[in-house]
Amino acid sequence: MSHPAPAGEERPRRLVVLAGPTAVGKGTLSAYVRDHFPEVWLSVSATTRAPRPGEVEGKHYHFVDAAEFARMEQAGELIESAVVHGRNHYGTPRGPVEQALGDHKMALLEIDLQGARQVRESMPEALFVFLAPPSWDELVRRLVGRGTEDEEERTRRLETAKVELAAEDEFDVTIVNDDVRRAAEELVSLMRSH
Ligand code: 5GP
């Protein structure tokens, strides 16, 4: 489902914000875009979460401690920030995004819903894309199947996912993540057309 842009909407929308429920595959999709579409600049978030096996500082995240995250927030270095799943802090560093847009690149932020709402306040010209699961059952299967979180964490993430699914109507466009390659191609062609 794609909502038409408001009449007179001619501003460039080189900044695309991708959000969606927990475990819908935002991370996999953005990794696919990073690996296959080098013309898309991908924001690297700061987080207080510990790295998972295989995650690389500066590529997947900037891993910082709580004090450094608080400093970045207070210094205005983050475009948006949120506590995700009631646990860790995540935020989008401002400088690199401004530089990418200044260089006329297509920029992609993969963030949670709270963060997307903050970006809409400060950068309403961005294009907001909701990544939806093919179905609720599929979302649950992906959430449990990932196996990187314990039971308590899974329950917490499912609760978050229910709330996040209800937010689809706040977005400009929905992409269904039925297949990562297809969804990535749809996302990038959307970016190119804006
Ligand atoms: P994970 O810990 O699994 O990598 O990510 C957990 C959640 O944090 C995902 O929903 C992801 O979209 C979100 N997230 C990652 N980076 C940011 C960010 O910079 N800001 C916000 N608000 N959420 C983020």
- Ligand 1 centroid from CA 194, angstroms: 25
Whether 59 has a pLDDT exceeding 90, the answer reads yes
Q: What's the pLDDT score for residue 151?
A: 84
- Site to substitute for ligand 1 among 18, 57, 63, 84, most atoms within 8 A of C-beta: 84
Domains, in order of start, for the chain? 16-193 (3.40.50.300)
Which pTM does this prediction carry? 0.88
Confidence of residue 2 (pLDDT cuts 50, 70, 90): very low
Q: What's the pLDDT score for residue 172?
A: 96
Whether 157 has a pLDDT exceeding 80, the answer reads no
Taking only the tens place, the pLDDT of each residue in 75-129 is 999 999 999 877 899 999 999 999 999 999 999 999 999 999 999 999 999 999 9
Q: What's the pLDDT score for residue 13?
A: 66
Whether 146 has a pLDDT exceeding 80, the answer reads no
Q: What is the mean pLDDT of residues 23-51?
A: 95
Residue 25 near ligand 1, beta carbon < 6 Å:
no
Whether 9 has a pLDDT exceeding 80, the answer reads no
Q: Is 21 annotated as a binding residue?
A: yes
Taking only the tens place, the pLDDT of each residue in 36-47 is 999 999 999 999
Mean residue pLDDT of the chain comes to 89
Q: Is 22 annotated as a binding residue?
A: yes
Q: What's the pLDDT score for residue 4?
A: 47
Q: What is the mean pLDDT of residues 172-186?
A: 97
Q: What's the pLDDT score for residue 153?
A: 80
Residue 164 near ligand 1, beta carbon < 6 Å:
no
Q: Is 20 annotated as a binding residue?
A: yes
Q: Is 25 annotated as a binding residue?
A: yes
3-state secondary structure the chain: CECCCCCCCCCCCCEEEEECCCCCCHHHHHHHHHHHCCCEEECCCEECCCCCCCCCECCCEEECCHHHHHHHHHCCCEEEEEEECCCEEEEEEHHHHHHHHHCCCEEEEECCHHHHHHHHHHCCCCEEEEEECCCHHHHHHHHHHHCCCCHHHHHHHHHHHHHHHCCHHHCCEEEECCCHHHHHHHHHHHHHHC
- Site to substitute for ligand 1 among 112, 129, 163, 177, most atoms within 8 A of C-beta: 112
Q: What's the pLDDT score for residue 168?
A: 95
